[in-house]
Each structure stands twice: as structure tokens, then as C-alpha cells.
Structure 1
């Protein structure tokens, strides 16, 4: 019985931190209570960097645990999202595999301790506010040019 209590405390801190990233933490908790994803806009405490699932998993395996921030995965859409500091956009401009979403873009998040609608945390928020540094993510993903949208190439 002691183990579930520890897990509840661990996930509770992560849930509280993640909900506080929203302007309406109460609505985030209500949404999770309905077993739905809560839209939490980036730009208040973090930015979301999006990459393909395989690239995200490979990068995750290259980053030591103490340097990892929260990483959200959705296998159905083949994507991962890394929570990064607010200065991340400029540092990842030349990394082809990742797109930093602009501030205000909602990230549809499950609670930290369970899967909802197929999404789950590969590395869950722990309540500390720890984020992945963009330079570490860039090194794990490798160099390359920024992807050019297909419509520009036509």
C-alpha cells in the first residue's frame, strides 16, 4: 500500500506544476477528471518542441536522466513534444528534426501518471520545473538545416 502513496505524491507534484502552467489550473484538473486531454498553452513557463516519435525516442536515449525535462508522446500521430525553456526557439533553428511551437500554442496534455487518448509522458513532469536545455536536445538530435515546408518548394 505504501508504493501507490509514493506514486500518487510523485504524480501529484507533476500534475500540480503542469496545471499551474495554465491560466486556469482548475479547468485542467476538471478536464483530467473527465479522462480528456487538457489544452495547456506554451509560452508561460515553457515552449514545446515537436519531433517525430522515432527521433524523439532516439534523442531520449542519448540524454542522461538528470538532463531530461518532460517529454510527451503520442504514437497515433507519430510525435513527441519536449518541454523547453522559453529561450529555446533561437537555439534550435538549425536542427531539422524539431519544430519549436510558438508561444500560446496549446499542448494537449494528459495528467502525469496515466495515459489519456493514447498520449503519455515518456519523462513526466515531476513538479520541479526542470526542462530540457535546447543545446542538449540539439546535440541529441544532431545537426541539419531547418525543414522547408512543401508548399514553399512548389
Structure 2
């Protein structure tokens, strides 16, 4: 990510912080390049196990040109898909955790290539506010689960 896209992504993320300037400072000061940001304002995050997350992301990227931002944690145990605010309140999926209104998440600095410790971007935000459509995400999760179970052929998507 370069130039204005990177700046736009940083500004978009920091805009949810109670003090965006302090968020910028935390990204710079923290040796891991992370900051805590509140979910539920501009985005919620649906968190799924990495074993389902990677196949879900594969299906999702075949359905849309570019999904919304996606995080993964240390060891790729969990993946977080950024979805519209309010999604977590309505989500009924088993094995899916959510970060919505009233919760905070660890967010690395959105610059590609910057070492941030355990949490990193698989798809960094681009500053446009683009989020993953929850219906497409649910469909991709079902497809990925079926692929993992061997119920469908990978070539059907």
C-alpha cells in the first residue's frame, strides 16, 4: 500500500478511536505496531477459526474482486473479517465470535510489509470503507465448510 491509499487506510481505522491522534502515536510507539480500536462504529469483526477462515477467504476472493479487510492472529489460529456495524448483533453462526459495539480489537498498522508481531493483515484496509458483505461471507463459509467436509468439488464456485 502506498501514498494516499495508505494514508486513507490509517485515517479510516484511526477515525473510530476516541482520540485518533493518540491512536497514531500508539502505532508508532508500540514495538509491535498495534493499537486497540473499538468495534461497532464503522465496522464489526466476525472471527472464525483459521482452519475455516483460509478456505472461506479463498471462496470469497472468487466471488468478489476485493473483500473488506481481513486480519489473522499469531499462528493463523483465527481470522477476523471486517463487516458492517450491527452484523455481530444479528449473527447466528456456530463457532463464530464477533467483535461489535462495546468491544475492542487489536489492530496493526495498515502498511503492507510492516512487522507487527502476532496480528497481521491478510487484506489490509484500502481507506475506502469497503467491508465484506455478511451474506457473501456466510455463503463463502458454507461453501468452505462443504469443501473441507469433501461434500462438493472445488471447481463448482
When the two structures are superposed, what TM-score results if normalisation uses the length of structure 2?
0.78
The offset of 1:27, in angstroms, is 1.2
Number of equivalent positions: 138
Q: 1:10 offset after TM fit, Å?
A: 2.3
Deviation at 1:87, TM superposition (A): 3.0
Distance in 2 separating the partners of 1:97 and 1:60: 17
Aligned to 1:51: 48
- Aligned 1:57-76 pairs, distance under 5 A: 57-64=54-61, 65-76=64-75
Is 1:41 the counterpart of 2:25? The answer is: no
Q: RMSD of aligned C-alpha atoms?
A: 2.1
Q: Which residue of 2 aligns with 1:14?
A: 9
Q: Does 1:106 align with 2:101?
A: no
The residue number in structure 2 matching 1:139 is 139
* Cα 1:125–1:63 shift into 2, 3 Å: same
Structure 1 residue 90 displacement after superposition: 5.0
Which residue of the partner structure matches residue 82 of structure 1?
A: 81
After the TM superposition, list the runs of 4 or more consecutive aligned residues in structure 1 that deviate by more than 6 angstroms.
none
Residues 22-41 of structure 1: pairs in structure 2 closer than 5 A: 22-34=17-29, 35=31, 36-41=33-38
- Give distance in 2, aligned partners of 1:112 and 1:102: 20
Q: Displacement of 1:30 after TM fit?
A: 0.5
Could you say which residue in structure 1 is the equivalent of 2:153? Answer: none
* 8 A Cα contact 1:75 1:118, kept in partner: yes
Change (3 A) 1:104 1:13: same
Residues 51 and 81 in structure 1, CA contact (< 8 A), matched pair in contact too: yes
Q: CA separation in 2, counterparts of 1:62 and 1:33?
A: 35
